[in-house]
Structures are given as structure tokens and as C-alpha cells.
Amino acid sequence: MLKKYRLTKAVKHGLSHFDPNDTGGSVSKEEIKDEFEHMERKLRNLQDKLFASKTNAVLILFQGMDCSGKDGVIKKVLSNLNPQGFRAESFKQPSPEESAHDFLWRTHKVVPAKGYITSFNRSYYEDVLITRVHDLIQDEEAAARMKHIRHFEKLLTNNGVLLIKIFLHISPEFQLEKIRERLSNPEKLWKFDPSDLKERDYWDSYIDAYEDAFRNTATDHAPWHIVPANERWFRDYLVLRIILSSMEKLDLAYPEPNIETTKLLEQLQSNTSLSQ
């Protein structure tokens, strides 16, 4: 099932090949409820092994149009993790300090250490997306940055970082519906930014920029996953499956006790036997 949503190399077709209303053959949220809860338990167990073994780190990167649900999916899918081993990072407009460094600096410094999981709400890809759409960089600079991104992601994966890149795919009609909901709901109005409406004028340009990024940065070690996100329940379900499937390939295990620990256990067992 997951193969159809996974991009590992340059593809001729674009995002139009993926239906944002796709639910993978599932009918409703109730149909996958038990499986979702089972996967949540498996993910917590894998996180425990990840933290104990300190052999790998996991970086889950979310990209998507405004209203695609980046905050929501992080909250729904990852909120049950042990907070001691999980951190969520969000990237807005660069600060003066961040702008004074290379474009990868602000994200590289918060890449998780081994044993930890981190999610990125937006990422270094913004520097080849919004900058390109608004003509802040030219095509030559964008191509150079994507080359740096490929090398950066290879550096991460070579050093034990499992990189899971997810694009939340929604339709422009769905986005407009969500903007209207924010405007009419006092509890969601705070999320509304007038720039969201202006950015809708650049929808096609963003699609072109994303498709070019996919063509240039989808690799075997750092694939892209295109997740249909019009149906929130399926979005959450598929993201959880992708994360779980990716982490299972790490073959995580609790570390074996060292010689000193083994001797202490043997001594403890011996003392227990004598006392009986």
C-alpha cells in the first residue's frame, strides 16, 4: 500500500497524479480505529527501543500548503510519544541571526541526537519553495540549494538519522473551505493570516516548485511521501503507517547488558539463593 505514495527518484508525472481525496480503499475513520490504536502502541514501543539503544535518530519532516494540517497531524499522530524523547520544531520567517548564516544552519542545529525523534513543521525546503515563488532567488540558486540539500540529507542518513519526508497534499477547494472555517469559528480565527488568501494566488507556482523539489531530492535514502490530506482521518492513518514502517526497518532492539552488569546480576541471583 505505501509504495504508491512513495517517491524515491525523479518521476515524470506531477502532483496531479495523486488524488488529495484518496482514502486508500478505507471507508471511514471507524474502520481503521483498532488498527490505528495498535500502531500507536507499536510506535511507542519502537520509541522506547530507539531511546534505549541510541543507535539512530528519527527526523520527520512535514511540508504542505497552508491549511494542509501540519500542526494537526503532529498533534494527532505524535502526541502519544514520550515527551522526554520527542521534540517538535516549527520554522517561520528567518530571524536576523538565522539570515546571517547559510540556509541550512537553523534546521541543522536542531536535528535530533541519536535516541530522539524530532518533527519539523516546514523545513529547509522553504528556502527552495517560498523564496522561489516570490522571486527571492533565481532558478540557478534554487538548483544549487537543492544540490546542497541532497548532500545534507546524505550526511544525515550516513550518520544514523532516519529521515522521513512527508508532503501533505490538499486541493485548492479544500484549502478555501478551511480558510472559511477559520474566519467563522472564534476558536480557530487566531490561526487566520491575511497572507494565506494572498498566497492562494500563487497556488500553481507552489505546485511547480514542489514538483521540482521532488524531482531533485527524492532518493532511496531520503524518499518523499505524498500523503492525501483532504480526509483528515486518512491523513493521520497514512502518516502513522509511514512512520511505523520506516522505523521498523531500523531493526531496533534493547542493548545487551555489559560484562559488569551481567556479573552484578549473577551476584544478586547468588545472594538471593543463599538467603533462601
Structural domain contains residue 192: yes
Q: In which domain, by residue range, is 36 found? A: 2-269
Can you spell out the DSSP letters for 70-134?
HHHHHHHHHTTS-GGGEEEEE--SPPHHHHTS-TTHHHHTTSPPTT-EEEEES-GGGGGTHHHHT
In a domain, 276, yes or no: no
Q: Is the pLDDT of residue 275 over 60?
A: no
Cα 56 to Cα 249: distance, rounded to the nearest angstrom: 12
Average pLDDT, the chain: 93
pLDDT band of residue 272 (cuts 50, 70, 90) is low
Q: Establish if 154 belongs to a structural domain.
A: yes
pLDDT at 63: 98
Could you tell me the sign of the dihedral formed by the alpha carbons of 175, 67, 168, 129, in that order?
positive
DSSP strand pairing (224-228 vs 161-169): parallel
Q: Residue 155's pLDDT is what? A: 98
- Say what the pLDDT of residue 236 is: 98
How does pLDDT run across 164-184, given as a tens digit for each residue? 999 999 999 999 999 999 888
Q: Mean pLDDT, to the nearest integer, of 90-101? A: 95
* 256 domain-assigned: yes
Task: Give the residue with greater pLDDT, 184 vs 10.
Answer: 184
What pLDDT does residue 170 have? 98
Predicted pLDDT of residue 1: 84
Q: Which of 10-19, 105-114, 221-230 has the lowest mean pLDDT?
A: 10-19
Instruction: From residue 157, give the alpha-carbon distance in Å to each of 102, 111, 202, 226.
Output: 20, 11, 33, 20
**What is the structure's pLDDT at 261?**
72
Helices 33-53/232-248 angle, 10° precision:
40
Q: Is residue 275 part of a domain?
A: no
14 has a pLDDT exceeding 90 = no
User: Which pLDDT value is given to residue 33?
Assistant: 94
pLDDT at 276: 55
Q: Is the pLDDT of residue 12 over 70?
A: no
Rounded average pLDDT over 269-274: 64
Interval 248-260: pLDDT, tens: 999 999 998 777 7
Whichever domain contains 82, its CATH number is 3.40.50.300
**47, part of any domain:** yes
Q: Which region, left, alpha or beta, applies to residue 220 given φ > 0 means left and ψ of -120 to 50 means alpha?
A: alpha
User: Which residues have CB under 8 Å from 220's CB, separation 6+?
Assistant: 8, 9
The DSSP element (H or E) to which 140 belongs, if any, is: helix 139-158
Q: How many domains does the chain have?
A: 1
Lowest model confidence (mean pLDDT) among 29-38, 140-149, 254-263, 265-274: 265-274
Question: Minimum mean pLDDT among 20-24, 26-30, 141-145, 212-216: which range?
Answer: 26-30
110/73 Cα distance (integer angstroms): 20
Cα distance between residue 75 and residue 88, in whole Å:
10
- The model's pLDDT over 25-66, given as tens digits with 9 standing for 90+, comes to 988 999 999 999 999 999 999 999 999 999 999 999 999 999
